[in-house]
Structure 1
Amino acid sequence: MSLLPQRLLAESLGTALLLATVVGSGVMGVALADGNDAVALLANAGATAGMLYVLITILGPISGAHFNPAVTLAMALRGELPLRDAAAYVPFQLLGALAGVVLAHAMFDLDLLQPGTRVRTGASQWLSEGVATFGLLLTILLGARHRLAALPLLVAAYIFAAYWFTSSTSFANPAVTLARALTTTFAGIRPEDVLGFVLAQFGGVVAALAVARVLDTEARQAA
C-alpha cells in the first residue's frame, strides 16, 4: 500500500471528483431533461456510476478507494485499516467532498456555496439510506473477498441500481450527504435533514458488517 500522504491525496481527490460528478451531472441532467425528472435521474445515476468505476480502478491500488467515511469505518472495525489511518482518511474525504461541490458550482457558474433546500426526510427516506448503505458495504466486503478484480464494476453497478430502487436516491455516504447540503441543485439536501441520513447510513454499516461476518464464516466452514 502507498504511503499515508499519497493515500490521503487519493481519498481527497477521488471524493472531490465523485461529488463534482454527482452535482454537475444533476445540473446538466436537469438542464437537458426539460422537466422530465426520470431523464435527469438517469443522467445523474449513469454519470455517478461511470465515475465510480474509473475512480475505484485508478485509485483503489493507492488508497483502497473508500471516498466514504462509512467504508473507512467498516474497514477499521474489521481490522483492515489502522485506526490512526482511518482517522486521517475521514477529514480528507470531507474536505474533498466540499471541494467537489464548489468545483461543480464553479463549472456551471453558480454560487459557490448555497445551503440546500431539497426536502429529504421521513421514515421511508431513512430506511432507504440504511438499505442503500447496507447494500453498498456488503457489495464491497464480499466483492473484495470473492471478486476483487470485478469490484469497480460491482460498486458502480450497485450505485446505479440503488439510485432507482431507493426513495432517497442512495447517498450511502456521510461525506456525500454533508457536502450535498451545500447545493440547491437537483442533488441537494436540506442541512436539517443530514443527521437523519447519516444515522441511517451508519445503521446500514452495522448491519452489513454483521451479515458479512456470518456469510464469511459459513463460507470458510463450507470450504
Structure 2
Amino acid sequence: MKHAVFAEFLGTSFLLVAVVGSGIMAETLAGGNIALALLANAIATGCMLYCIITLFGAISGAHFNPIVTLAFLLRGDLPITRAGAFIAAQIIGAIAGVILTHAMFDQTLFQLSQTPRSGGPLWVSEIFASFGLLLIIFGGLAQNSKAIAAMVALYITGAYWFTASTSFANPAVSIARALSDSFAGIYPAHVPMFILCQLIGMVLALWGVRAIFGRASSG
C-alpha cells in the first residue's frame, strides 16, 4: 500500500504545483488580463491532470481528491484504512505542492489567501463541478476506462470556464489553495462551505452513477 499512498501524495503535489504555479506565472505575464490568466491556469491544470492520471493510475487509481477516494469507499470499492491513508496523503501532498511552488517563485513559503470566494452561485458551481467530475470518473470506468485521463483533464479545463467557482471540486485543493495568497487562492474562512458543497456533489453523483451505470462503474 505504501507505493499507492506515495503516488497519491506525489500526484496531488504535482497538481497543486500546476494550479498555483500557473496562476502565479499567468498573473505575472498577463498584464491584468484576467481572462488570459484564467485560460493559462486552466490549460496548465488540464495538462498536469492528464499526465499524473496516466502516470499513477495503475499504482493508486490516481484519485488525488478526497471526494473521489470517499466515493470509492462508500461504494465498497476501497478499504477504510487505504481510504484514510489516501485522504491524508492528498491533503499533505497538496500543501507540500503549494509550499514548493512558493519556493520556485521566490515567494513567502507560508501564506494565507485574501481572495474571497463565497456566495450562492459559487456554492452551486462547486456542487455541480463535483457532481460532474465524479460522473466522468465512474462513467468512464463503465464505458471506457482508458479514456479517463483525457476525460478528467478536458472536463476540469472546461469547468474552469463554465462554473462560477472555476471548479475546485476537491477538498484537498481547496485547503491548499487557502495557503497561497495568489491568483489561485481562496480566503480560508470560505473553504468549509466549498468542501460541504463538494461533498453534496459527491453524494448526488453516487446516486446518479448508480441510476445510469449501475455496478458497471466499479473500479
TM-score relative to the length of structure 1: 0.95
Indicate the residue corresponding to 2:201 in structure 1.
204
Indicate the residue corresponding to 1:50 in structure 2.
47
State the alpha-carbon separation in 2 of the partners of residues 99 and 64 from structure 1.
21
Is 1:142 the counterpart of 2:145? The answer is no
Question: What SS does the aligned partner of 1:98 have?
Answer: helix
State the alpha-carbon separation in 1 of the partners of residues 215 and 29 from structure 2.
49
- How far 1:214 moved relative to its partner? 0.4
How many pairs were matched up? 217
Indicate the residue corresponding to 1:152 in structure 2.
149
Runs of at least 5 residues in structure 2 that lack an aligned partner in the other structure: none
Question: What SS does the aligned partner of 1:17 have?
Answer: helix
Indicate the residue corresponding to 1:60 in structure 2.
57
Is the 2:141–2:216 Cα contact (8 Å) retained in structure 1? Answer: no
- How far 1:219 moved relative to its partner? 8.1
- How far 1:217 moved relative to its partner? 3.5
Q: Deviations over 1:36-72 (max 9, x none)?
A: 0000000000000000000000100000000000000
Residues 91-170 of structure 1 aligned to structure 2 (within 5 Å): 91-170=88-167
Give the direction of change, closer, same or farther, for the CA distance of 1:219–1:7 in structure 2 (3 Å limit): closer
State the alpha-carbon separation in 2 of the partners of residues 86 and 218 from structure 1.
20
Give the direction of change, closer, same or farther, for the CA distance of 1:5–1:218 in structure 2 (3 Å limit): closer
Indicate the residue corresponding to 2:170 in structure 1.
173
Indicate the residue corresponding to 2:87 in structure 1.
90
Is 1:213 the counterpart of 2:210? The answer is yes
Give the direction of change, closer, same or farther, for the CA distance of 1:217–1:10 in structure 2 (3 Å limit): closer
TM-score relative to the length of structure 2: 0.97
- How far 1:83 moved relative to its partner? 1.3
Q: Deviations over 1:67-106 (max 9, x none)?
A: 0000000011111111111011111110000000001100
- How far 1:218 moved relative to its partner? 10
Letter in 2 for 1:169: T
- How far 1:32 moved relative to its partner? 1.2
Over aligned residues, Cα RMSD in angstroms? 1.2
Query: Identity of paired residues, percent?
Result: 53
State the alpha-carbon separation in 2 of the partners of residues 115 and 32 from structure 1.
23
Give the direction of change, closer, same or farther, for the CA distance of 1:180–1:218 in structure 2 (3 Å limit): closer
**Counterpart among 24, 31, 40 of residue 34 in structure 1:** 31
Is the 2:129–2:167 Cα contact (8 Å) retained in structure 1? Answer: yes
Dislocated runs of 4+, deviation >6 Å: none
